[in-house]
C-alpha cells in the first residue's frame, strides 16, 4: 500500500516506512519529529521544474508530464524500483511539505509506483 501524508501531520504506526520526497526540508520540522525511514531528495523534481510549477493547478498536467520524464533517469528509476519492492512488502508513506495535497510531486510518484505495482509500467518489463 502506498499512502501520502503531509510532513506537518503526525506520524503514526499505520504509516509503515516513511519517505520524504521533497528536495527541501520542511520548515519547522525536526528530523526526530518527522520519523522518516529515509529522505529521498534525489527523487524530487528538479529545481527548475519545481519553481516553474509553483503548485499552480493550471500547470498540473504539464508538470506531471515533465516530472514523469525526469523520473525516468536511471538514478530515479532505481529509487522507484526500490520503493516498489518495499510497497510489495508493506505500507509505504510518501511524505511531502506542500499545502496543496492534490497537486504535488508525491501524487505523481504514487501514481508511478502504483503503475509499477500493477505491472502497467514499461520500465518494469
DSSP string, 12-59: -GGG-EEEE--SSPPTT--HHHHT-SEE-GGGSPPHHHHHHHTT-GGG
Taking CA atoms, 104 is separated from 18, 67, 119, in Å, by 17, 10, 24
Handedness of CA 93, 35, 40, 104 (dihedral sign): positive
Predicted confidence at residue 29, as pLDDT, reads 95
* CA 3, chain centre distance (Å): 10
Predicted confidence at residue 122, as pLDDT, reads 57
Contact 16, 94 (CB under 8 A): no
In order along its 125 residues, the chain shows pLDDT tens digits of: 999 999 999 999 999 999 999 999 999 999 999 999 999 999 999 999 999 999 899 999 999 999 999 999 888 999 999 999 999 999 999 999 999 999 999 999 999 999 999 987 655 43
Place of cell 529521498: 40
Does the pTM of the predicted model rise above 0.85? yes
Place of cell 520519523: 35
Predicted confidence at residue 119, as pLDDT, reads 85
Amino acid at each position: 500500500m502506498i499512502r501520502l501524508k503531509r510532513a506537518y501531520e503526525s506520524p503514526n504506526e499505520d504509516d509503515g516506512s516513511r519517505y520524504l520526497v521533497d528536495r527541501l526540508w520542511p520548515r519547522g520540522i525536526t528530523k526526530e519529529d518527522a520519523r522518516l525511514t529515509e529522505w529521498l531528495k534525489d527523487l524530487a523534481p528538479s529545481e527548475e521544474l519545481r519553481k516553474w510549477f509553483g503548485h499552480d493547478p493550471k500547470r498540473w498536467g504539464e508538470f506531471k508530464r515533465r516530472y514523469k520524464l525526469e523520473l525516468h533517469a536511471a538514478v530515479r528509476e532505481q529509487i522507484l524500483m526500490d520503493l516498489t519492492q518495499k510497497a510489495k512488502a508493506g505500507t509505504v508513506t510518501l511524505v511531502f511539505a506542500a499545502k496543496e495535497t492534490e497537486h504535488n510531486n508525491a501524487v505523481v510518484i504514487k501514481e508511478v509506483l502504483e503503475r509499477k505495482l500493477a505491472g502497467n509500467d514499461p520500465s518494469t518489463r
